[in-house]
Amino acid sequence: MLRKCLLVLSAAVILAGSLLGEEIRGKITSVDINKNTITVAVGDKEQTLPVNKDAKVYVIGKGKGGAGLDVPGGIQGLTVGSDVTVTTDKKDSGGNVTDIKVTPAPTKKKN
């Protein structure tokens, strides 16, 4: 009985992992508000990705408990040159952006 439960649980974890979208890390090179797309540079390549209307756009580590602080205006509030982690709803280069996590710029320490 325990073996069957472990087997089912293992299969569920594997299937759940394959349903998750792709995660892309890079720098924003452009934001097109009219087309609702962002272009992200990953290494020496750029990818233009469509953004869902209800995509969550937030700054990592800001806000209560470090959960993230929403960027006012959604993609309109994004800044070219920002480091981001973009999550799409499909794997293998395709799909719409569902989540944009902006990495805050490092703060300079005063001596």
Q: Please report the pLDDT score of residue 18 as a whole number.
A: 47
Average pLDDT per 10 consecutive residues for the chain, totaling 111 residues? 64 53 91 94 93 90 68 91 90 79 77 61
Q: Which domain holds residue 44?
A: 21-103
Residue 45 maps to a domain = yes
Q: Please report the pLDDT score of residue 78 as a whole number.
A: 93
Residues 6, 20, 92, 58, Cα dihedral to 10°: -150
85 beta partners: 25, 101
Residue 5 maps to a domain = no
This prediction has a pTM of 0.71
Residue 47 maps to a domain = yes
Residue 71 maps to a domain = yes
Q: Please report the pLDDT score of residue 70 as a whole number.
A: 87
CB 84 within 8 A of CB 30: no
Residue 111 maps to a domain = no
Q: Please report the pLDDT score of residue 50 as a whole number.
A: 94
Q: Please report the pLDDT score of residue 105 as a whole number.
A: 75
Residue 109 maps to a domain = no
Domain count, the chain: 1
Residue 7 maps to a domain = no
We report the CATH number of the domain holding residue 44 as 2.40.50.320
